[in-house]
Chains A and B, each alone.
Chain A
């Protein structure tokens, strides 16, 4: 198990995070570029030393600035797969993968066997004597993975592994990689800026926003109960943050948010509350709908995004206050003559609101 607390300042970014990860599971670190994801990876790998922090892996302290403990990278059992793979250009695939084994003092036969195992795990065999420049992007990625896995690291760090691949390859690799990572016994940290990848790979998702962790937890939790607009946007759902409108109100009362009151169907507790509305709960109208139990927001359509694979469902991004995302059928789009710039009304029932604090 990994437990890390890091605090650092790099240029304009102030990093202050605390995270934990378990072996056998993949923890995804998701956030925009510049949020600090790579800084965290480099600190975990030992390539950079944060101003203050503590990193403990399986009970061993890799870093403890308080006690001036700082293991250099070559003494940490870590495997690192960077975004551009960094395969040694002057070595063959075989030599690349064997590189991490050479300091382990293994008999040659065992070394060869482990190289073969790692290559098989990564799903490429038969390319042992090729040079990196002779490989495709996808092949290079697998070799980089095999190389990181061969020394059986305790901590595996993957920095945007799919970012350098073209769209086609990315989809193919995604499934395979997910399956592979699922079988690994080590602690895997997977860094990405893509919400889709976060959802696909993350047993646990950690959302990083400007050097700080907005929310961390299992996939379901973030999907259902986002706690920041960024997380909500990442998960593709709608979030309101507000306070109970008035004390002592009966169920069916309203929650006051910055953009207006929202009618809810449960009795809100005191203090700050989070409200989510799934995009599917939102109905679009061309005219203001009637009905008092409805929440209605008006605004122009900003974007229409057909959902893969076939565009049966369409996500509609609305320039309402707050910005809302609705999901409708293709037929509805045609029927309502929805197009960008059109003024619509978005409505959802009080019962469609999930409330939590």
Chain B
């Protein structure tokens, strides 16, 4: 065996192995810290409430009102966001036009605007003395202090979540399929429904879920614009905040309740993406 020094030295196994192990360790630690940061507060919350207390709270009219209001308004605002946001996303994804960049910034604005500021802005626009207040009044519509106002506030803050995801999802649909559908006799509207929507579905669903979650948790804009009245505008986040000031146990119980409801809805929606539509959508990935 020749051991001449001119030969390339054999790779240093300990150096490379340690490098690899260190990286893996680092990744594991980071992930663990993150999960701890998220999981510990949630676990602490749940542990704080005895199960019977939670059940008895569920029966309280104030709690039921807040829960009902939260679910109803967040569902309505998500529907509004999708109804208005989908055509907008389609336009942004398929066409260029002068001023497009400004429109994109405008749609992203609620993301960076503090919710209370959003509330003040909504008042300035749609309040009784607001810019459009007169117009609304002429139609017999009043937004501040009403449930409709809550929906408007939620819609305002939730829009960027859906439109962003929908725009990307629609833009990523391969142009080839759209062209192909056109040559097969499908006008643009039909192509949108039969080709673009199904192919972009996972992104759209994800965007809608995020939008709903944001609407459910909305507080600052709601309390500023719509106000706070049980049964009318006092959604769960508002109820929790106010309960915190006078009855900590009630606040904790309400929080756990909201957490449970959110969890259930999220699970239902996620398993929706595991159903037949979602399976088809996921199956598209490897083929592309």
Residue on B with the closest CB to A80?
B183
Within 8 A of A (CB), among B100-150: none
Known: A73-B179, A80-B180, A84-B176. A89 touches B287 (CB 8 A): yes
Q: Which residues of B contact A89 (CB under 8 A)?
A: 177, 199, 283-284, 287-288
Q: Report how far A185 CA is from B31 CA in the complex, Å.
A: 64
Known: A90-B199, A103-B190. A78 touches B183 (CB 8 A): yes
Q: Which residues of B contact A102 (CB under 8 A)?
A: 185-186, 190
In whole Å, how far is B230's beta carbon from the nearest beta carbon of chain A? Answer: 47
> B286 at the A/B interface (Cβ < 8 Å)?
yes
Between A and B, how many residue pairs show CB distances below 8 Å?
74
Q: Report how far A75 CA is from B187 CA in the complex, Å.
A: 8
Q: Report how far A76 CA is from B183 CA in the complex, Å.
A: 7
Known: A90-B198, A90-B280. A74 touches B186 (CB 8 A): yes
The dominant DSSP class at the B interface is helix
Which one of A86, A90, A104 lies within 8 Å of B176 (CB-CB)?
A86
Instruction: Annotate A56-82 by CB proximity to B: 1 below 8 A, 0 otherwise.
Output: 000000000000000011111011101
> A50 at the A/B interface (Cβ < 8 Å)?
no
> A227 at the A/B interface (Cβ < 8 Å)?
no
Q: Which of B195, B198, B287, B288 has the most CB of A within 10 A?
A: B287
Q: Report how far A278 CA is from B183 CA in the complex, Å.
A: 43
A147 touches B281 (CB 8 A): no
A133 touches B185 (CB 8 A): no
Q: Report how far A133 CA is from B182 CA in the complex, Å.
A: 22
> A45 at the A/B interface (Cβ < 8 Å)?
yes
A133 touches B183 (CB 8 A): no
A99 touches B283 (CB 8 A): no
Which one of B177, B183, B190, B281 lies within 8 Å of A88 (CB-CB)?
B177
Within 8 A of B (CB), among A84-114: 84, 86, 88-90, 99-100, 102-104
Known: A131-B283, A133-B286. A47 touches B177 (CB 8 A): no
Q: Which residues of B contact A148 (CB under 8 A)?
A: 183-184
Within 8 A of B (CB), among A226-284: none
Which one of B177, B184, B283, B288 lies within 8 Å of A151 (CB-CB)?
B184
> B93 at the A/B interface (Cβ < 8 Å)?
no
Q: Report how far A82 CA is from B287 CA in the complex, Å.
A: 17
> B181 at the A/B interface (Cβ < 8 Å)?
yes
Known: A89-B288, A90-B199. A73 touches B283 (CB 8 A): no
Q: Report how far A90 CA is from B190 CA in the complex, Å.
A: 15
A90 touches B281 (CB 8 A): yes
In whole Å, how far is A152's beta carbon from the nearest beta carbon of chain B? Answer: 11
Residue on B with the closest CB to A133?
B287
In whole Å, how far is A42's beta carbon from the nearest beta carbon of chain B? Answer: 8
Q: Which of A47, A74, A148 has the most CB of B within 10 A?
A: A74
Q: Report how far A47 CA is from B284 CA in the complex, Å.
A: 25
B284 touches A100 (CB 8 A): no
Q: Report how far A100 CA is from B199 CA in the complex, Å.
A: 18
> A36 at the A/B interface (Cβ < 8 Å)?
no
Q: Report how far A78 CA is from B194 CA in the complex, Å.
A: 20
A74 touches B182 (CB 8 A): yes
Instruction: Annotate B171-203 by CB proximity to A: 1 below 8 A, 0 otherwise.
Output: 000101101111111110010001100110000
Q: Which residues of A contact B199 (CB under 8 A)?
A: 89-90
In whole Å, how far is B18's beta carbon from the nearest beta carbon of chain A? Answer: 42
Known: A133-B283, A133-B287. A104 touches B185 (CB 8 A): yes
Known: A133-B283, A133-B286. A86 touches B177 (CB 8 A): yes
Within 8 A of A (CB), among B186-228: 186-187, 190, 194-195, 198-199
Q: Which residues of B contact A90 (CB under 8 A)?
A: 198-199, 280-281, 283-284
Q: Which residues of B contact A147 (CB under 8 A)?
A: 184
In whole Å, how far is A191's beta carbon from the nearest beta carbon of chain B? Answer: 15
Q: Which of B180, B187, B284 has the most CB of A within 10 A?
A: B180
Which one of A47, A86, A100, A132 lies within 8 Å of B185 (CB-CB)?
A100
Residue on B with the closest CB to A153?
B183
Q: Which 6 A-B pairs have the closest CB atoms?
A: A100-B184, A133-B287, A73-B182, A80-B183, A86-B176, A86-B180
The 28 listed contacts between A and B (C-beta, < 8 Å) are A45-B183, A46-B182, A73-B179, A74-B182, A74-B186, A80-B183, A82-B176, A84-B176, A86-B174, A86-B176, A88-B180, A88-B181, A88-B195, A89-B199, A90-B199, A90-B280, A90-B281, A90-B284, A99-B194, A100-B184, A102-B185, A102-B186, A102-B190, A103-B190, A132-B287, A133-B283, A133-B286, A151-B184
| Besides A89-B199, A100-B184, 20 new A-B residue pairs in contact (Cβ under 8 A), listed by A number | A46-B182, A46-B183, A47-B182, A73-B182, A74-B184, A74-B186, A74-B187, A79-B183, A82-B180, A84-B176, A88-B180, A90-B199, A90-B283, A90-B284, A99-B181, A100-B185, A102-B190, A103-B185, A104-B185, A147-B184
